[in-house]
Structure 1
Amino acid sequence: MERLQKILAGAGVASRRKCEELIQSGRVQVNGETVTELGTKADPAADVITVDGKTVGAQKKMYIVFNKPKGVITSASDPQGRKIVTDYLKGINERLYPVGRLDYDTEGLLLLTNDGEFAHLLTHPKHHVAKTYLATVKGVPHGTALDKLKNGIMLEDGMTAPAEVEYYDIDPEEKHATISITIYEGRNRQVRRMFEAIQHPVTKLKRISFGDLYLGNLKRGLYRHLTKEEVEGLIKLARTAGKPGNRPTPKKDK
């Protein structure tokens, strides 16, 4: 027996939080009876579970790493008709959804899955899963400015957690610099806002790792399936609540 929201998320219906909303709104039935109480348990092998009248069956779990280009929406749809990440998932018929987000102007590593429990585990704030970015900024921030980011800096939604920050590349004329920054939170546009706070706005932003998973040589606009070992590694990392201070220096792209 498992909690109903866990069964629904595991079947790829939606994220666990969204599945909880479906239950509370009376859209889920177990053996013909509407269930609205969170925590209700069911047996996916014996019970008939439906959402809006459609039977929920076992679904093969899928895990994708995608190199998102700039100018693509991290969403399953866009009313303005702009490119969305699933436009690039040719040959995949499963309904996948992003694990977290990358904003419209940010490129790089994005995970997609139909495993709601996996997505919830990696994005829950208490798990502190590291995400590393290369941020190209205007000018060259002094070490004291970077120290502010390392120690935590005040934004409009509160103080950030300590980050790992170091120089990655500096323009000889010092018109811009690329900084490697690893954060353990997932606030909206957080990296951009952190650099704006030290007066060095971001002109280009690329995520190169999520936990211990690196983008590597995956070309922009392409995807690949995660290996079983990679999936298990991310789950283990999230469950052990990764802590700052254990990240390797990111390798430069070739």
Structure 2
Amino acid sequence: MEERLQKFMARCGVASRRHCEQLIADGQVKVNGRVVTEPGTRIRPGKDVVVVNGRLLRQPKKKVYYMLYKPRGYLSAVADPAGRKLVTDLLPDVKQRIYPVGRLDYDSEGLLLLTNDGALTRALTHPSSKVSKTYRVRVQGIPSWRSLEQLAQGIELADGLTAPATVGLIDVLNGNALLEITIHEGRNRQVRRMCEAIGHPVLRLKRIRFGPLNLGKMKAGEFRELKNHEIRALLAAARLL
């Protein structure tokens, strides 16, 4: 079955379709040894030889997408020299080699996406993506309204001012507040550092939403494959559609 060249390139993880179109127009793509400059050129994946900047593209393996409720005490990685438990240990029957998209701290829990779709991973984790992530955060003490406004407007951290966030006070239990915080950045331990900056360290942190995905009623350690409409929504959020 034939396929448009830029779509095949995007499936192989070269870049977004729009960027692939530009690579074709710039003369950086060869099909069967011939430079092709016309986006929309149709090829036969698996039969035609496509080379981008000297790199031979191979027919990608089946892409899979899983949503996991990461428990606390697991590392968002596929290997660890210290021998700590890994999120991939929770998906032992998945045959494909999958990778977590972004990170959740070792002591954090909640929604984690795992996939072998390299293009989607790069798009979702790139600073320009601005895909929203929502967290339920139990903090020590009860922040003042002024402190919550600071979180929402932007907090000065060691690596610069944070972007505006959506912040709400959900509940108070035993003198500690439960906050819901939505951010559009992906800095290391960002939510924890934001809360520390206003003098209310995090006691427990759970991610409940990632872009169009919602953790729902999943329990710690559970995982499932994404549905087709969820995959399309993710691709749209990453501007890959």
Deviation at 1:90, TM superposition (A): 2.3
The alignment partner of 2:238 has SS state of helix
1: CA distance, partners of 2:9 / 2:103:
22
Partner of 2:34: none
Are the aligned partners of 1:8 and 1:56 in contact in 2 as well (CA < 8 Å)? yes
- Name the aligned partner's letter for residue 212 of structure 2: D
CA contact (8 A) 1:153 1:194 kept: yes
In structure 2, list runs of 5 or more residues that go unmatched.
16-26, 32-44, 52-56
**One-letter amino acid matched to 2:106:** Y
For the 8 Å contact 2:72–2:108, the answer to whether it is kept is: yes
* Aligned-partner Cα distance in 2 for 1:4–1:239: 16
Q: 1:120 aligns with which of 102, 119, 122?
A: 122
Instruction: Deviation per CA, 1:61-83: give whole Å up to 9, x if none.
Output: 10000000101011010111110
Aligned residue type for 1:147: E
Q: 1:9 aligns to what? A: 13
The answer to whether 1:167 aligns with 2:169 is yes
8 Å contact from structure 2 (residues 69, 111) kept in 1: yes
1:220 aligns with 2:220: yes
TM-score norm. by structure 1 comes to 0.75
* TM superposition shift of 1:6: 4.8
Report the Cα offset of residue 9 of structure 1: 3.1
CA distance in 1, matches of 2:147, 2:29: 51
**Structure 1 residue 5, shift from structure 2 partner:** 7.9
SS of corresponding position for 1:108: strand
| C-alpha distance in structure 2 between counterparts of 1:234 and 1:212, whole Å | 6
Segment of structure 1 superposing worse, 194-203 or 209-218: 209-218
2: CA distance, partners of 1:64 / 1:226: 6
1:207–1:48 CA distance, 2 compared to 1 (3 A)? same
Matching residue of 2:203: 203
SS, match of residue 126 in structure 1: coil
Match of 1:23 in 2: none
Correspondence for 1:136:
138
- Scaled by the length of structure 2, what TM-score is found? 0.79
Verify the 8 A CA contact 1:134 1:208 in the aligned structure 2: yes
C-alpha contact 2:30 2:50 (8 A) present in aligned 1: no
Question: What secondary structure is seen at the aligned counterpart in 2 of 1:199?
Answer: coil
Q: Counterpart in 2 of 1:244? A: none
When residues 5 and 236 of structure 1 are mapped into structure 2, their CA distance, relative to the original with a 3 A threshold, is: closer
Identity in percent: 48
Please give the alpha-carbon distance, in whole angstroms, between the structure 1 residues aligned to 2:201 and 2:111.
Answer: 21
Q: Deviations over 1:177-232 (max 9, x none)?
A: 11000000000000000000000000100000001210011111111000110011
8 Å contact 1:64–1:226 — kept in the other structure?
Answer: yes
- In 2, the alpha carbon distance for the partners of 1:42 and 1:192 equals 48
Query: How many angstroms apart in 1 are the aligned matches of 2:81 and 2:222?
Result: 24
